[in-house]
A and B are shown apart, each in its own frame.
Chain A
Amino acid sequence: MEVQLIKIEKRNDVSRSIYFLTPVLAIFLTLFGGGIIFYILGFNPIEALKFFFITPISDLYGLSELLVKATPLCLIAIGLSFCFKSNNWNIGAEGQLIFGGIVGGGVALLFYNHDGFYVLPIIILSGAIGGILFAMIPAILKTYFNTNEILVSLMLVYVAKLLLDYLVVGPWSNPEGFNFPETRQFSESARMPILFGGLRIHAGIFITLITVFLTWLILYKTYLGFQIKVSGLSLKTAKYAGYKGKTMIIIVFMISGACAGLAGVGEITGPIGQLHRNISPDYGFTAIIVAFLGRLNPVGIIFASLIVALTYLGAETAQIFLQVPKYTGQVFQGMILFFLLGSDYLLFFKIKFLGLKKNEL
């Protein structure tokens, strides 16, 4: 006779505590999975994980670096949360980041040798506008030509990368730079103020924090936020309620484009200080993971951005101490998302362990 040990039942309502606990579970499973991978590669898993997740943030400089990396990740993910909440799959934030960087960088070069408090705000604003413009391409194509936004936004990442490459090699390259593929160093007035001497953490973190607060306001206190959430839950309901679907698509893409553009301009005026080929280590893609890990919730995204930023730092440390490629960070990032999505199963289903009853044996 077949004995059922486990019974799976559909939950009637989603438990709120499990909703925010599964990301924690996912992180633990990722650590476990990472340990196994390190073991297979011939490392002591505990040592390796220590190098990956503890060594990088065991001093003040490390903590500052963590915030430097979390600043753009959090900002982009916040923008993406508007898109994902309303079922718009903008996965080209990396392109919007680069284009924002290009526009902001162009303005910074224009204001080369200018002093004045107005320089930096103009650069930041133009970066945001650049991001918006670039995000408008998939948004407009989606709304008016019914084109798949996933593919368009993604293809544009490659276009933006090549455009940046063209500019820093060609017309914008540093005239005194011995043909290195980079622009001039921006002047002091075009740089984000550094918060503490000797550390790289810069004023960009305030842009991120303000955006987080505004997002919370918009999502939870305004009618627009309500519309976005309803469209995400059920397009039919949104239509029935008479929400303007097309305007909504444009708005969420504008917000996420602006955030990505701001992140780009924050990088080039912050830690980098010029334009070159690699202004972003795939922050735009990684932010997708941050958005999910943070449950598309502003506060959740802050925590998630810190954790994912740690995978960047960990990969750098592990590269030095364990000689593994820096791509190891992506293995961890991929695993986090796998485990997170997988553990969502617990949200919708109850697993009951029935055990063996004596009379069944």
Chain B
Amino acid sequence: MSFDLNFIGILIGAIMASSVPLILAASGELITERSGVLNLGVEGMMIIGAISGFALMVVTDNLFFAVIGSMLSGLIISLIFGLLTQSLLTNHVATGLALTIFGIGMSAMIGKNFVGIPGKEFPLLFINLKESIPFLGPIFFGHSIILYFAFGLPFLTNYFLKKTKTGLIIRAVGDSPTSASNQGINVTLVRYSCILYGGAMCGLAGAYLSLIYTPQWIENMTGGRGWIALALVVFATWSPIKVLIGALIFGGITILQLHMQAVGLRIPVQLLSALPYIMTIIVLVVISRDSRKIKLNTPTSLGQIFYKEK
């Protein structure tokens, strides 16, 4: 086996690409959770984004509409979650599960007529630079615009949460909704907005899968990525930059696993495929062992229902 520098560059590029849906979904969910809402429907919102993006691409033949549409549909489906948890004060865990089950079923219903249709080529930027510069070329160039957006998103999110007034309000709502409410902040409105934002990002993450990563529609194509994204938020102890690092690690495991299969190592394929899930558990254990550290970073009111007497 020869490991020339360019090959490693291509490998890193592939790892980046496979981490994009995780970064997008986890960054969105991070904002939602920072406002104190635990939405376990990530998988469902992603799969809805994936099918609506793909369907719109087929119907309108326009990738821009497809991407925007996937975000909108993620947003709309998360509105169900918002209505239930914020206005009807339902349990976050159960509602999120319902959203995932509903989303998977709904996507299969919508996607019935889109199975087997080939996808459309998504424009990749700076293709010539990718090929002309060895090693760095395949890392930095030749990606879709969504990848560049995804890699900027954690930094934007970090800035937004730490340096802007809106970010401060979101954190205040997540840490102490009662005091925030007493300060005249509309807790329900803030939480609604964060839920919708999370939905849009999950929709985009799904569209990345069905439009760019594997450009086609397959039932259940998110394959548990939504759940890994949820685990990533805990892994990152609710810090956006660590989400990026975590997503790259998981992307790395996925790509490594594919390459080990291709090389034909004498390890069962299933064990390799199980690696990301087993790794998630191990990482969660390591992170959570220090309960003080988790407590310090967890939005205090995460998953709790807020009700204001009128």
Name A residues whose Cβ lies closer than 8 Å to a Cβ of B.
8, 10, 37, 41, 89, 91, 137, 141, 145-148, 150-152, 154-156, 158-159, 162-163, 165-166, 169-170, 285-286, 288-289, 292, 324-325, 327-335, 337-338, 341-342, 344-345, 348
Q: Within residues 77 to 95 of chain B, which ones have a CB less than 8 A from any CB in chain A?
A: 80, 83-84, 88-91, 93-95
Given A325-B109, A329-B105, A334-B98: 16 more A-B contacts, CB < 8 Å? A41-B109, A146-B291, A147-B288, A151-B230, A158-B274, A162-B273, A288-B94, A289-B101, A327-B108, A328-B108, A331-B102, A338-B95, A341-B88, A341-B90, A341-B95, A342-B83
Residues on A with beta carbons closer than 8 Å to the beta carbon of B88: 341-342, 344-345
Query: How far, in whole Å, are A37 and B104 apart by their CA atoms in the complex?
Result: 15
Residues on A with beta carbons closer than 8 Å to the beta carbon of B224: 158
Is the CB–CB distance between A334 and B99 below 8 Å?
yes
Does B263 sit within 8 A of A, measured CB to CB?
no
- For A286, give the chain B residue with the smallest CB separation: B101
Is the CB–CB distance between A342 and B90 below 8 Å?
yes
Is the CB–CB distance between B285 and A141 below 8 Å?
yes
- For B231, give the chain A residue with the smallest CB separation: A151
Residues on B with beta carbons closer than 8 Å to the beta carbon of A146: 288-289, 291, 294
Does B281 sit within 8 A of A, measured CB to CB?
yes
Query: How far, in whole Å, are A163 and B89 apart by their CA atoms in the complex?
Result: 39
Does B280 sit within 8 A of A, measured CB to CB?
yes
Does B271 sit within 8 A of A, measured CB to CB?
yes
Tell me the smallest distance from the CB of B37 to a CB of chain A, in Å. Answer: 15
Residues on A with beta carbons closer than 8 Å to the beta carbon of B270: 162-163, 165-166, 169
Does B284 sit within 8 A of A, measured CB to CB?
yes
Is the CB–CB distance between B98 and A337 below 8 Å?
yes
Does B309 sit within 8 A of A, measured CB to CB?
yes
Is the CB–CB distance between B231 and A159 below 8 Å?
no
- For A329, give the chain B residue with the smallest CB separation: B105
Is the CB–CB distance between B105 and A333 below 8 Å?
yes
Query: How far, in whole Å, are A141 and B103 apart by their CA atoms in the complex?
Result: 30
Does B106 sit within 8 A of A, measured CB to CB?
yes
Q: Which of B94, B227, B280, B310 contacts A341 (CB 8 A)?
A: B94
Q: Which of A151, A170, A348 contacts B89 (CB 8 A)?
A: A348
Interface class of chain B by DSSP = helix
- For B41, give the chain A residue with the smallest CB separation: A334
Does B40 sit within 8 A of A, measured CB to CB?
yes
Q: Within residues 233 to 287 of chain B, which ones have a CB less than 8 A from any CB in chain A?
A: 234, 268-271, 273-274, 277-278, 280-281, 284-285
Known A338-B98, A341-B95; judge A170-B108 contact (CB<8 A).
no
Closest 4 CB pairs of A and B: A334-B102, A330-B105, A327-B108, A337-B98
Q: How many A-B residue pairs have CB under 8 A?
A: 136
- For A288, give the chain B residue with the smallest CB separation: B97
Tell me the smallest distance from the CB of B98 to a CB of chain A, in Å. Answer: 4
Is the CB–CB distance between B227 and A328 below 8 Å?
no
Q: Which of A150, A159, A328 contacts B105 (CB 8 A)?
A: A328
Known A166-B270, A324-B112; judge A151-B94 contact (CB<8 A).
no
Residues on A with beta carbons closer than 8 Å to the beta carbon of B281: 137, 141, 147, 151-152, 155-156
Is the CB–CB distance between B109 and A331 below 8 Å?
yes
- For B44, give the chain A residue with the smallest CB separation: A334
Contact with A along B50-70 (1 / 0, CB 8 A): 000000000000000000000
Is the CB–CB distance between A330 and B104 below 8 Å?
yes
Tell me the smallest distance from the CB of A284 to a CB of chain B, in Å. Answer: 12
Query: How far, in whole Å, are A178 and B295 apart by their CA atoms in the complex?
Result: 55
Is the CB–CB distance between A345 and B89 below 8 Å?
yes
Which of B94, B224, B268, B284 counts the most chain A CB atoms within 10 A? Answer: B94
- For A158, give the chain B residue with the smallest CB separation: B277
Is the CB–CB distance between B284 and A152 below 8 Å?
yes
Q: Which of B91, B273, B284, B309 contacts A147 (CB 8 A)?
A: B284
Which of B227, B281, B291, B309 counts the most chain A CB atoms within 10 A? Answer: B281
Residues on B with beta carbons closer than 8 Å to the beta carbon of A325: 108-109, 112, 219
Residues on B with beta carbons closer than 8 Å to the beta carbon of A165: 270
Tell me the smallest distance from the CB of A285 to a CB of chain B, in Å. Answer: 7
Is the CB–CB distance between A159 and B274 below 8 Å?
yes
Q: Which of A285, A324, A328 contacts B101 (CB 8 A)?
A: A285
- For A91, give the chain B residue with the smallest CB separation: B97
Residues on A with beta carbons closer than 8 Å to the beta carbon of B94: 288, 292, 337, 341
Residues on A with beta carbons closer than 8 Å to the beta carbon of B91: 341
Query: How far, in whole Å, are A166 and B269 apart by their CA atoms in the complex?
Result: 8
Is the CB–CB distance between B289 and A145 below 8 Å?
yes
Query: How far, in whole Å, are A292 and B109 apart by their CA atoms in the complex?
Result: 25
Query: How far, in whole Å, are A10 and B103 apart by their CA atoms in the complex?
Result: 32
13 A-B pairs with CB atoms under 8 Å apart are A146-B289, A152-B281, A155-B277, A155-B281, A158-B277, A159-B278, A169-B270, A288-B94, A325-B219, A337-B97, A337-B101, A338-B98, A344-B90
Residues on A with beta carbons closer than 8 Å to the beta carbon of B288: 145-148
Which of B83, B101, B109, B284 counts the most chain A CB atoms within 10 A? Answer: B101
Tell me the smallest distance from the CB of B282 to a CB of chain A, in Å. Answer: 10
Q: Which of B102, B284, B289 contacts A148 (CB 8 A)?
A: B284
Which of A288, A342, A344 counts the most chain B CB atoms within 10 A? Answer: A342
Is the CB–CB distance between B234 and A151 below 8 Å?
yes
Is the CB–CB distance between B84 and A338 below 8 Å?
yes
Query: How far, in whole Å, are A286 and B98 apart by their CA atoms in the complex?
Result: 10
Is the CB–CB distance between A331 and B105 below 8 Å?
yes
Query: How far, in whole Å, are A231 and B283 apart by their CA atoms in the complex?
Result: 29
Is the CB–CB distance between A155 and B109 below 8 Å?
no
Residues on B with beta carbons closer than 8 Å to the beta carbon of A166: 268-271
Residues on B with beta carbons closer than 8 Å to the beta carbon of A288: 94, 97
